[in-house]
Amino acid sequence: MKLNFKLNLLLALFVGLLVGMNLLGGKITTLLGISVSVGIFMMPLTFLITDIVEEVYGKKITKQFILVGTITLVMILAYTALFVVLEPNARYEFNDQYTTIFGLSLRVTIASLIAFVISQFHDVWAFEFWKTKTKGKFLWLRNNLSTWVSQAIDTFLFMTIAFYGISDKFTLGFIITLAIPYYLFKLAFAVLDTPFVYLGVRWLKSGKESNS
């Protein structure tokens, strides 16, 4: 059986994006006057990849992507927690900076994992649901409908679990006001990536045919 390089490449990119979001997403930048995590540039690509894979290979393979991603995140986060608490060598001068960068709170870590798993599995289900309803047509519609709801789940679930009640200010209403503009950016990215769904499906199908 031949290895499918294209499918393996997408899996590697998917896992890499997930690790990148968790390791690099702590930085806050400003888009159109709104504070957002730099992870916003990576998250939409994970949904793009799973939609492409599901269109060509179905939900079983796509769920394997999510499972592999989840296992990888758990492993990386476990190692991160261990390395942060390990006593540094006397020659290592940057332990405080290391701890600041990688010492993520357990609550934020758990929030990230829960939001990822639930939103990604919802995306797989929703994509299949709309594919059945449209009889396999209107890829652009299926891609956007499934992603819009999944991104909403990811955004609001993560922010609620991570920040609700950390102070009197962080009420549910306040978290929603923070999450809405962040979610709107994700919607915009989802619309903009629609042409890449078609290109990705065509590209991946050619790899599937050559391995059949």
For the stretch 16-75, pLDDT in tens is 999 998 888 878 888 888 878 888 889 889 999 999 999 999 999 999 999 999 999 999
Q: Is the pLDDT of residue 127 over 50?
A: yes
**pTM across the whole model:** 0.88
User: Picking from 52-61, 162-171, 201-210, which range would have the lowest pLDDT averaged per residue?
Assistant: 201-210
Q: Which pLDDT band, with edges at 50, 70 and 90, does 207 fall under? A: low
> What average pLDDT does range 118-139 have in this prediction?
95
Phi, psi of 168, rounded to the nearest 5 degrees = -60, -25
Cα separation, 140 vs 161, whole angstroms: 31
Q: Which two tokens stand for residue 28?
A: 């806050």
Distances (CA, A) of 63 to 6, 46, 53, 119, 124: 17, 13, 10, 12, 7
Q: 5-211 belongs to which CATH class?
A: mainly alpha
Give the DSSP per-residue string, 107-162. HHHHHHHHHHHHHHHHHHHHHHHHHHHTTT--HHHHHHHHHHHHHHHHHHHHHHHH
Any idea how long the chain is? 212
Query: Whose CA is closest to 155, among 187, 128, 124?
Result: 187
Domain ranges of the chain: 5-211
Query: Whose CA is closest to 32, among 175, 184, 159?
Result: 184
> What average pLDDT does range 158-162 have in this prediction?
90
pLDDT score of 110: 84
